[in-house]
Amino acid sequence: MPTLTPDGRLAAVALTRIDLEGDTYRSEIWVMPTDGSAPPSRFTNGPRDQWPRFSPDGSWLAFLRAGEEDGAKPQIHVMPVSGGEPRQLREHPLGVEALAWSPDSTRIAYVARVPEPGRYGTKDGVPPAKEPPRRITTLKFRLDNAGFILDRRPHVFVVDALAEGAEPVRLTNGDFDHGDPAWSPDGRQVAFISARHADRDYDEMSDVFLVPAEGGDAVQVTRTTAPVSRPAFSPDGRTIWFCGPETDEAARNAGLWSVPADGAAAPRRLTGAERWDVENFAAGATLELLVGDDDVTTVALERGAIDLYRFPMDGGEPTRLLGGRRQVVDYARAAGVLVAVVGDELTAGEVVVLRDGRETVVSDFGSLLARSTSLRPMIEVNATAPDAYPVHGWIVKPAGKGPFPVLLMIHGGPFTQYGYRLFDEAQVYAGAGYAVVMGNPRGSSGYGEAHGRAIVFDYGNVDSADLLALLDAALADPDLDGDRVGVLGGSYGGFMTSWLVGHTGRFRAAISERAVNAFDSFEGSSDIGMKFLEVYVGADPERIKAQSPLSYADKIDTPMLLIHSEEDWRCPLEQAQRLFVTLKRRLMAVEMLVFPGEGHELSRSGLPSHRVARFEAILDWWDRHLNGGARA
């Protein structure tokens, strides 16, 4: 999350590190000159500081800070750029999720969840277990990694950032979710995203709304035709740009759209649907659209890379600003200076400055990791599926000479991608002596919309053919041992793992993690189950059964480790339990590892101790089944 002073002289980023001793994550704000004249310096002391934003006049830095205590929620703090102590603006019991400065640097718009009275610690002495029952009347009442959401909707607020103790103004009301606040250039209005249409419980559509910054009625700008996000005004305030696909169907590329701020005309799409996908859901933050007089700058997914492009508003050919074998994670622009956080296969992310067409790396945050371990590069592999379709992927090989045991690793989604970034999973397994094969079969993003939609209503067909073709191409390398191959993946990757071992016996062992194994129960138990079945599987009971790995459990002879989290609401624990019980009743070699207190994101943001325990269990499993227990 980089931010720039208005003169482009200073950049600030949040740096997050794992504290294994404290079993937590720590983050601080670091500041650095964009000309590279001095190394980055720590500007805040944490313990958990995120989302830095310089005020438009360059006088203040706003950021979100959570305290040391367990369960502490992030709150807005501001501090002078010239130095001094940060000051908390307001306390929200459930914390703050996003913030944006007003153009005159006096106010901040932000998003905070508002709990129902008496819930979530708002009534002294009433723990969660003693709260009154929830009356549920909607389908969208829960969310993975958040819990119940029907009784704590996110709303947009505006607060005076300079007046101590100022009372915030709540701009949104009603039983709706709100997000992505953006100021109009004159500071009179705030745009935001919400779903307020009558059928919002049954689709994923949303709209851009405008509300007076002083408070008042919100006005709908778009026309409820697709999911939208990331609103941003043109410099003259007459147009709002935003991102979104054509519809809320599965695997549709997100494009750039514009709409008159007064809503007088329908939105117009700038980018082609098949070629361009400008939404990076893996970024972990809402990426700001950089809207100029004649162009819009944002990221685009490209065959494992995430490039930064400038898109002319007249529909001309876009200009790639940052690209190559790497991924642009986030970015900002001021005074002709563009700053981006850029990662690659050997770097978690460094700050890159683009000025006058020249790139300069002005941070070295990853040097300690590079010095302390042997990071392994990604070797590109191209394969051909049985129907002549091209398949793209990589091998990450251990140091030394093989033959190495092999792991076919499958990503989640399915409409996501593996790519050019430092991936802890691949590095840990390669460091333990395993060659990792990973790729983007049909169903993945970054290869065109048709590529992503190829598996809609046909899970397990062309995607499994692509994965096996990629594995075969990788095994042509004599350093890879084709007699010792395992398969693993999480979420959709867990589904594919369970599916593959029910359809082929070529793997010595498998690890299926946070998987979908049975679509019949997934529909009612998952936070996204109903919509997921509608857009990916369909309503036909025979198809639902035919596309569920559990239906083929009687054919699984491969030893399996099932990894799941107790509080996973995306792919609930029952998905693992049903497969475990079925295999156990058949007296198969199966184990289940269940993590308490974790959700679907365990492998990416779970407790550090749990993430370490997970890696230890995975390596132990491969040691027993691919190495005969020989690993030291």
Sign of the dihedral defined by the CA atoms of residues 527, 530, 532, 537, in that order? positive
Give a yes or no: residue 176 inside a domain.
Answer: no
Burial class (CB in 10 A: 0-12, 13-18, 19+), 357: exposed
Give a yes or no: residue 293 inside a domain.
Answer: yes
Q: Tell me how far apart the alpha carbons of residues 301 and 308 are, in angstroms, rounded to a whole number.
A: 9
Q: Tell me how far apart the alpha carbons of residues 398 and 480 are, in angstroms, rounded to a whole number.
A: 10
Q: Which residues contact 129 (CB under 8 A, 6 or more apart)?
A: none
Which pLDDT tens digit goes with each residue over 320-378? 999 999 999 999 999 999 999 999 999 999 999 999 999 999 999 999 898 899 999 99
DSSP-assigned beta bridge partners for residue 10: 33
Q: Specify whether 207 is located in the same domain as 334.
A: no
Rg value, the chain, Cα: 25
Q: Specify whether 408 is located in the same domain as 319.
A: no
Burial class (CB in 10 A: 0-12, 13-18, 19+), 387: exposed
Give a yes or no: residue 107 inside a domain.
Answer: yes
Tokens representing residue 18 in the block: 């794992």
| pLDDT for 597 | 96
Q: Specify whether 56 is located in the same domain as 132.
A: yes
Distance of CA 598 to CAs 194, 428, 605, Å? 28, 21, 9
Q: Tell me how far apart the alpha carbons of residues 124 and 117 are, in angstroms, rounded to a whole number.
A: 11
Q: Specify whether 466 is located in the same domain as 611.
A: yes
Q: Is the pLDDT of residue 284 over 60?
A: no
CATH number of the domain that 143 lies in?
2.120.10.30
611 contacts 619 by C-beta, under 8 angstroms: no
- Average pLDDT across the chain, whole number: 96
Give a yes or no: residue 599 inside a domain.
Answer: yes
Q: Which residues contact 181 (CB under 8 A, 6 or more apart)?
A: 98, 99, 100, 109, 110, 111, 156, 190, 191, 192
358-361 and 337-344 strand pairing: unpaired
Which pLDDT tens digit goes with each residue over 520-538? 999 999 999 999 999 999 9
Q: Specify whether 537 is located in the same domain as 547.
A: yes
3-state secondary structure of 592: strand
Q: Is 514 left (phi over 0), alpha (psi -120 to 50) or beta?
A: left
Q: Specify whether 455 is located in the same domain as 472.
A: yes
Core vs surface per residue 75-103: b (16+ CB within 10 A) or e: bbbbbebeeeebeebbebebbbbbbbbbb
Which pLDDT tens digit goes with each residue over 118-139? 999 889 889 888 999 999 999 9
Q: Specify whether 586 is located in the same domain as 574.
A: yes
Single residue among 224, 248, 279 that ends a domain in this structure: 279
Q: Specify whether 305 is located in the same domain as 405.
A: no
Q: Specify whether 215 is located in the same domain as 312.
A: no
pTM of the model: 0.96
Which pLDDT tens digit goes with each residue over 466-507? 999 999 999 999 999 999 999 999 999 999 999 999 999 999
Q: Specify whether 201 is located in the same domain as 130.
A: no
Q: Find the mean pLDDT for residues 84-101.
A: 95
Single residue among 368, 388, 417 that ends a domain in this structure: 368
Give kind and range of the element (H or E) at residue 473: helix 462-474
Domain count, the chain: 4
Single residue among 131, 155, 170 that ends a domain in this structure: 170
Q: Specify whether 456 is located in the same domain as 538.
A: yes
Q: Specify whether 5 is located in the same domain as 94.
A: yes
What residue numbers bound the domain in which 225 lies? Answer: 195-279
499 contacts 549 by C-beta, under 8 angstroms: yes
